[in-house]
Amino acid sequence: MNIGVIGLGYWGPNLVRNFQSQPDAEVWMTDADPARLQAAQRRFPGVRAADSVADLLRQVDAVALATPLSTHHALGLQALEAGCHLLVEKPFTDSVAAAQELIDLARHKGRVLMVDHTFLYTGAVRKLRELQEQGELGRLLYFDSVRINLGLFQHDTNVIWDLAPHDISICDHLIGLEPLAVQASGARHYSAQEDLAYLTVFYPDQLMAHFHVNWIAPVKVRRILVGGDRRMVVYDDMEPSEKLKVYDKGVELTRPEEIWQTLVSYRTGDMHAPRLDGGEALTGMVKDFLHCIATGAEPLCGPAHALRVTRVLEAAERSLREGGRPVEIQP
C-alpha cells in the first residue's frame, strides 16, 4: 500500500518513521516548505518525496495529515475526494461542522477516517479501558485530568486545543457517553490565546470530567484520576514504571433507604499496579489504521469518537468566549 504523509514539522517525521517500518507499506511525503522536505529526505533516504499535495495524492492510497489545524478541513476533503483513506493528526478539525463534513464524505466515499489520538494505543489506556469494560471500576463517578508544564506555546491555538484533546480522547474512550454540557475558564497571560485553562464536561447521572491544561506551570504533571464506585485509578504518565495504580477503595453506604440516617463508611483494600504492554503507542496506531483499511474494521478513534471530542472542544471554546457559562451540547 502507498501511504503519503503531508506535513513534516514536529510530528510528521514520527509518522513517516512508523509507516516506513510496516511491511508492504510504500511511503511518500511532502511539505509546503522545501527546506523541511529536503531535511526529511536526508533523514529518510528510502521514502519518496512529492513536490506538492496534488502530486502526492496521485501516488497514494492513504494519507496522514500532520499539518496545522487550520488546514485539516481543506486538505482532508482534497484527500478524500482523491479517493484516499484519511488519518488526521489531533486535533481533528477546528469546528464540528468541518468534522461532520469530512466524516460524511469519508462515509460516502467508503474510506477509512481516523484521528491520531495516540494515547488510546498506550499500554496504560488499553489496560484502563479493559478494567472498565470488565466492570472492575464499577459505575464511573468522575474523571479528573491534569496536564501541565512549562511550554510549548503554540502560536495559532490556545492551550485547550493543544493539550486537552489527549485527555478528552482518553475520557471519551473510557466513558463512551454523549456529553451534556461543557464549561471552560482560562487566562491569557502571554499572548492573545489562553495559556492556562480549566474545562468541565458534564455527563448523565452526575458523572463529571474535569481537565486542567497549563503551559506556564513550573512542574510537569500528567495525571488522571478515575473514580469508580468499585475501584479508583491513578494514571500517572510521568512515572517510569507503575503508571497505573488501581485502588480497592471506596465508600459504603449503610441503610441508604433511610436518607437521614445514612452512615457513610470507607473501604480501603489493596493497591495494584498491573503490568502494562510496552511498545510505542504510535506504532499501534499506525497498525490499526492499516488494519482498518485492509479489513474494514472500525478504528479505535474513528468518526464517532472524533466527533464527540470535537464537540467538547468547540463547546469549550464557546464557553471561554462567553465568560465561562456552561454550554449545552447538541448531539
Which residues of the chain form contacts with its own copies (CB under 8 A)?
A: 45, 141-142, 144, 146, 148, 150-151, 153, 181, 183, 185-192, 196, 198, 200, 202, 206-208, 210, 212, 214, 216-220, 225, 227, 229, 232-234, 238, 240-242, 245, 247-251, 253, 259, 262, 264, 266, 268-275, 323-326
114 vs 209 by CB, closer to its own copies = 209
For residue 297, the tally of other CB atoms under 10 A from its CB is 12
Instruction: Give the separation between CA 320 and CA 184, rounded to whole angstroms.
Output: 5
Closest approach of its own copies to the CB of residue 47, in Å? 15
Name the minimum Å distance from CB 330 to its own copies: 17
Nearest distance in Å: CB 7, its own copies: 22
User: Nearer to its own copies by C-beta: 296 or 323?
Assistant: 323
Q: Which is nearer to its own copies, 69 or 82 (CB)?
A: 69
Q: How far is the CB of 238 from its own copies (least distance, A)?
A: 7
- Phi and psi torsions of 253, nearest 5°: -105, 125
CB of 293 to its own copies, least distance (A): 29
Q: Which is nearer to its own copies, 153 or 177 (CB)?
A: 153
Nearer to its own copies, 23 or 110 (CB): 23
Q: By C-beta, is 115 or 233 nearer to its own copies?
A: 233
> 210: exposed, middle or buried (C-beta count within 10 Å: 0-12, 13-18, 19+)?
middle
Q: Report in angstroms how near the CB of residue 254 gets to its own copies at its nearest.
A: 12
Cα angle for residues 18, 108, 87 (degrees, 5° grid): 15
**Looking at residue 247, what DSSP letter applies?**
E
Phi, psi dihedrals of residue 82, rounded to the nearest 5°: -75, 5
DSSP H or E stretch at residue 244: strand 244-254
Taking alpha carbons only, the member of 140, 135, 124 closest to residue 227 is 140
| DSSP structure string for 97-157 | HHHHHHHHHHHHHT--EEEE-GGGGSHHHHHHHHHHHTTSS-SEEEEEEEEEEE----SSS
